Structure 1
Amino acid sequence: MEEREQRRNLGDSDFDIEDALLDEAVTTVVKGAERLNRKWPELIITGIFGGFDVGLGILAMVLVKQATGSDILAGMAFGVGLLALKLAHSELFTEEFLLPLNAVIAGQGTWLQMLRLWAVTLVTNLLGGLAFMAIVVVALPDYHQTMIDSAVGYIDQPSLPVMIALALLAGATITLSTRMQQGSSDDVVAVVTCTISGLLVIGFGMLHGALNAIIIFGAMLAGADISIGDFAQWFAIVIPCNMLGGLLIISLPRVARTLRVLRGIRAASIPLEKAEEQAS
């Protein structure tokens, strides 16, 4: 097949790759580099607001769950928090696994920067969520039991394999949800995606370290019989599994799909500026 004919089949790009894959690679590299190169104040404040935004979703979840007793409806209400993350440009742990990973592979950041992003986002999500739930517990005493019941359900799992599987699913679901939102600029798509993601994560009782921890913090402040040791043991299992779910199930296959472009950008055989022009 002649080069001209091949490119006609692939699309309008000057590079020997499908337009959609080129767009995915370039977009994730650029956005990932932006996140990796955030200054400390920006990184910390973004993570704290991520905890606040998730707290808003938890507030909606608790309200609906107490009113209806339905985990499915509560999960759909929780989607408000995921939508707030997108619209407010804050950040949730496991949400951005693919972007920084692609940026590092493409030479637009370092592994140390990626670890810094993940660690700071996790810690600040927890701090922001703790502060938000402290206010919720004081303001809404009638909802304490609902928060406690939800938290106990997350901590008390029937077996370790079930716990691991639920944490893997949660990491994969949140990571995929974010990637789906990045694939469209349509706000309606974002609303639908966030609603479905909340439905799945909360409805199935998936275990997400940052999301569930904020609910557990609220329950502990409300008087739940959950010790710091109980929480630490639960957290130590869930967080690594969330990472594995987001990285192995969702991120790495997508990295493999665009690896040729990422390597080309790193080696400067595909100039990033030109690739951006072609992708746009």
Structure 2
Amino acid sequence: MNEKAQRERLGHNDLDIEDALLDEAVTTVAEGSARLNRRWPELIVTGFFGGVDVGLGILAMILVKQATGSDILAGMAFGVGLLALKLAHSELFTEEFLLPLNAVIAGQGTWLQLLRLWSVSLVTNLLGGLGFGWLIVLGLPDYHRTIIDTAVGYLDQPSLLVMIALALLAGATITLSTRMQQGTSNDVVTALTCMISGLLVIGFGMLHGALNAIVVFAAMLAGADISVTDFLTWFAIVIPFNMLGGLLIITLPRMVRTRRILRALRTGTVSLEELERQAG
């Protein structure tokens, strides 16, 4: 069987590509376009509640960490926050790199819209996290020491190289976790994916700017010896490498395998509606 015949056996759409990849491309472009075209109030509120919703995971993490002293169990508890993001349809920075980027490459959005989505998501995540962190500090004075110790652990890294590697891993893990959740409609699988992702990110002490910032904010409000300059210096290093981890390790390789579909959409060879009919 030659190469063309093998491809035809695997997929039966007009673009001569596996049906699973066609479904992936169509879904990501359609959802990405919708996200890029959100109006300002929707974009701001969605990002704000991303910080609030993932704060639920931070709350669970702190509770379990103080009760057990185990980072592994605390990480599994943190998965509740990732599940909350999914079920509440909020958005965390680095979570959805593939969707909007595919839409831009396919000509269904602009680079300016992409910059707006990422920048507003990051800022509103931080604002939502700051508000939730303030409530944690007010309501849980007995947990201040655990919060402070956790925050100091994030900021106090043995070397810049270790810091960069942990930031890359965090960006890749969160982005891949979200992509895995999009590949299933099974709620049990989604919950397990969130728990495993939390286990890895928290258990290994990975550095994720938007997530760790909630703990750092809470620690600062609880009286930790952490200055704004300390936080901003750490943040300026972590966030770019979170983005590189999500983009280079997870997103771009997946774009390569669906590049012919994205190119066909961009050049107008085929419309998104036609592809949705084929995928359906």
Could you tell me the TM-score, scaled by structure 2's length?
Answer: 0.98
Pair 1:21–1:142, CA change in 2 (3 A): same
Q: Is it true that 1:76 corresponds to 2:47 in the alignment?
A: no
Native 8 Å contact 2:15 2:261 kept in 1: no
- What 5-or-longer segments of structure 1 have no aligned partner? none
Partner of 1:147: 147
CA deviations 1:131-169 (Å, max 9, x no partner) are 011111100000000000000000000000000000000
Distance (Å, rounded) in 1 between the aligned partners of 2:6 and 2:193? 35
* 1:61-95 CA-partner distances (Å, limit 9, x unpaired): 00000000000000000000000000000000000
- What amino acid sits opposite 1:89 in the alignment? H
* 1:7 and 1:14 in contact (8 A); partners too: no
**Is 1:159 equivalent to 2:155 in the alignment?**
no
Matched-pair contact (CA < 8 Å) for 2:57–2:78: yes
Are 1:85 and 2:85 counterparts? Answer: yes
SS at match of 1:170: helix
Root-mean-square deviation over aligned CA pairs: 1.4
- Does the residue aligned with 1:278 lie in a helix, a strand or coil? helix
Whether the 8 Å CA contact 2:8–2:16 is kept in 1: the answer is no
For residue 109 of structure 1, what is the aligned residue in structure 2?
109
- Give the conservation status (yes or no) of the 8 Å contact 1:92–1:125: yes
Corresponding position of 1:95: 95
Question: Post-superposition shift, 1:11?
Answer: 2.2
User: Counterpart of 2:119?
Assistant: 119
Alpha carbons of structure 1 residues 70 and 258: separation in structure 2 relative to 1, 3 Å: same
1:236 paired with 2:264, answer no
The answer to whether the Cα contact below 8 Å between 1:94 and 1:243 also exists between their aligned partners in 2 is yes
Query: Residue type matched to 1:161 in 2?
Result: L
Contact 1:105 1:263 (8 Å CA) reproduced? yes
| 1:193 maps onto 2:201 in alignment | no
- Closer/same/farther in 2, CA of residues 276 and 137 from structure 1, 3 Å limit: same
Q: Residues 72 and 153 (structure 1 numbering): CA distance in 2 closer, same or farther, change over 3 Å? A: same
List, as ranges, runs of 4+ consecutive aligned residues in structure 1 with deviation greater than 2 Å.
1-8
Alignment match, 2:48: 48
| Equivalent residue pairs, number | 280
